[in-house]
Amino acid sequence: MNERDVLLNELAQGMRPISEGIEWFDGLGQEEQSDALLFLRHHCVQARAVTEDAPESIRRSGLRPTHTPAVLISRGRIDEQLGKVACLTPLDERRKAFRLLIAVLSIADARRRERFCSGGCSHWWHRLPVA
Protein backbone atom coordinates (compact mmCIF):
# COMPACT_ATOMS: atom_id res chain seq x y z
CA MET A 1 0.00 0.00 0.00
CA ASN A 2 1.34 3.42 -0.95
CA GLU A 3 -0.01 6.96 -1.14
CA ARG A 4 -1.24 6.49 -4.72
CA ASP A 5 -3.11 3.29 -3.85
CA VAL A 6 -4.82 4.95 -0.89
CA LEU A 7 -5.78 8.02 -2.93
CA LEU A 8 -7.26 5.99 -5.79
CA ASN A 9 -9.27 3.83 -3.40
CA GLU A 10 -10.50 6.90 -1.54
CA LEU A 11 -11.65 8.35 -4.86
CA ALA A 12 -13.41 5.12 -5.82
CA GLN A 13 -15.14 4.97 -2.43
CA GLY A 14 -16.28 8.60 -2.63
CA MET A 15 -14.08 9.68 0.28
CA ARG A 16 -12.47 12.35 -1.91
CA PRO A 17 -14.02 14.42 -4.70
CA ILE A 18 -13.09 13.45 -8.25
CA SER A 19 -11.87 17.02 -8.84
CA GLU A 20 -9.09 16.33 -6.33
CA GLY A 21 -8.23 13.13 -8.17
CA ILE A 22 -8.11 14.86 -11.55
CA GLU A 23 -5.85 17.57 -10.14
CA TRP A 24 -3.54 14.86 -8.77
CA PHE A 25 -3.64 12.93 -12.07
CA ASP A 26 -2.88 16.04 -14.12
CA GLY A 27 0.19 16.67 -11.96
CA LEU A 28 1.71 13.32 -12.88
CA GLY A 29 4.13 12.73 -15.72
CA GLN A 30 2.98 10.66 -18.69
CA GLU A 31 4.59 7.45 -17.40
CA GLU A 32 3.08 7.90 -13.93
CA GLN A 33 -0.33 8.54 -15.50
CA SER A 34 0.00 5.32 -17.49
CA ASP A 35 0.95 3.44 -14.32
CA ALA A 36 -2.07 4.87 -12.48
CA LEU A 37 -4.41 3.86 -15.31
CA LEU A 38 -2.97 0.34 -15.43
CA PHE A 39 -3.31 0.08 -11.64
CA LEU A 40 -6.96 1.11 -11.91
CA ARG A 41 -7.59 -1.32 -14.75
CA HIS A 42 -6.08 -4.17 -12.73
CA HIS A 43 -8.19 -3.36 -9.69
CA CYS A 44 -11.37 -3.06 -11.75
CA VAL A 45 -10.74 -6.60 -13.01
CA GLN A 46 -9.88 -7.82 -9.50
CA ALA A 47 -13.11 -6.26 -8.18
CA ARG A 48 -14.94 -8.29 -10.84
CA ALA A 49 -16.21 -5.51 -13.08
CA VAL A 50 -18.82 -6.78 -15.52
CA THR A 51 -19.99 -5.53 -18.89
CA GLU A 52 -23.26 -4.38 -17.33
CA ASP A 53 -21.28 -1.84 -15.26
CA ALA A 54 -20.47 0.19 -18.39
CA PRO A 55 -23.59 2.41 -18.67
CA GLU A 56 -23.59 3.41 -14.99
CA SER A 57 -19.82 3.96 -15.05
CA ILE A 58 -20.16 6.27 -18.04
CA ARG A 59 -22.95 8.16 -16.29
CA ARG A 60 -21.03 8.51 -13.02
CA SER A 61 -17.85 9.60 -14.78
CA GLY A 62 -19.66 12.45 -16.52
CA LEU A 63 -18.46 11.33 -19.95
CA ARG A 64 -20.62 11.46 -23.00
CA PRO A 65 -21.36 8.06 -24.55
CA THR A 66 -19.47 9.23 -27.65
CA HIS A 67 -16.17 9.87 -25.83
CA THR A 68 -13.54 7.30 -26.77
CA PRO A 69 -13.22 5.62 -23.34
CA ALA A 70 -17.02 5.34 -23.11
CA VAL A 71 -17.26 3.82 -26.57
CA LEU A 72 -14.49 1.33 -25.77
CA ILE A 73 -15.94 0.14 -22.47
CA SER A 74 -19.32 -0.39 -24.10
CA ARG A 75 -18.01 -2.90 -26.63
CA GLY A 76 -16.75 -6.41 -26.05
CA ARG A 77 -15.38 -8.17 -23.00
CA ILE A 78 -14.94 -5.75 -20.13
CA ASP A 79 -11.47 -6.94 -19.12
CA GLU A 80 -10.16 -6.44 -22.66
CA GLN A 81 -11.90 -3.09 -23.04
CA LEU A 82 -10.57 -1.82 -19.70
CA GLY A 83 -7.08 -2.57 -21.00
CA LYS A 84 -7.73 -0.50 -24.11
CA VAL A 85 -9.10 2.37 -22.01
CA ALA A 86 -6.04 2.26 -19.73
CA CYS A 87 -3.69 2.44 -22.74
CA LEU A 88 -5.12 5.58 -24.35
CA THR A 89 -2.29 8.05 -24.95
CA PRO A 90 -3.58 11.56 -25.76
CA LEU A 91 -3.73 13.66 -22.57
CA ASP A 92 -7.42 14.51 -22.85
CA GLU A 93 -8.26 10.83 -23.42
CA ARG A 94 -6.12 9.76 -20.43
CA ARG A 95 -8.01 12.22 -18.23
CA LYS A 96 -11.34 10.79 -19.44
CA ALA A 97 -10.00 7.25 -18.95
CA PHE A 98 -9.04 8.14 -15.38
CA ARG A 99 -12.53 9.40 -14.59
CA LEU A 100 -14.13 6.33 -16.17
CA LEU A 101 -11.86 3.80 -14.46
CA ILE A 102 -12.49 5.41 -11.06
CA ALA A 103 -16.24 5.04 -11.72
CA VAL A 104 -15.88 1.39 -12.80
CA LEU A 105 -13.83 0.59 -9.70
CA SER A 106 -16.38 2.36 -7.52
CA ILE A 107 -19.24 0.26 -8.87
CA ALA A 108 -17.43 -3.08 -8.99
CA ASP A 109 -15.81 -2.73 -5.57
CA ALA A 110 -19.08 -1.67 -3.92
CA ARG A 111 -20.72 -4.81 -5.31
CA ARG A 112 -17.77 -6.95 -4.22
CA ARG A 113 -17.87 -5.45 -0.73
CA GLU A 114 -21.61 -6.12 -0.44
CA ARG A 115 -21.49 -9.68 -1.77
CA PHE A 116 -18.21 -11.03 -0.46
CA CYS A 117 -16.92 -8.72 2.27
CA SER A 118 -19.99 -7.67 4.24
CA GLY A 119 -19.09 -10.05 7.06
CA GLY A 120 -15.53 -8.75 7.18
CA CYS A 121 -12.48 -9.20 5.01
CA SER A 122 -8.74 -8.66 4.92
CA HIS A 123 -8.77 -6.02 2.15
CA TRP A 124 -6.93 -2.97 3.52
CA TRP A 125 -8.86 -0.66 1.17
CA HIS A 126 -12.13 -1.71 2.81
CA ARG A 127 -10.81 -0.41 6.12
CA LEU A 128 -9.81 3.11 5.09
CA PRO A 129 -10.69 5.66 7.77
CA VAL A 130 -13.55 7.95 6.88
CA ALA A 131 -12.26 11.52 6.86
Range picked from 11-15, 53-57, 123-127 for highest mean pLDDT: 53-57
Residue 121 is predicted with a pLDDT of: 56
Range picked from 94-103, 110-119, 120-129 for highest mean pLDDT: 94-103
Task: Please spell the DSSP secondary structure of 42-75, one letter per residue.
Answer: HHHHHTT--GGGHHHHHHHHT--TTSHHHHHHTS
Distances (CA, A) of 5 to 29, 65, 81, 124: 17, 28, 22, 10
pTM of full prediction above 0.85: yes
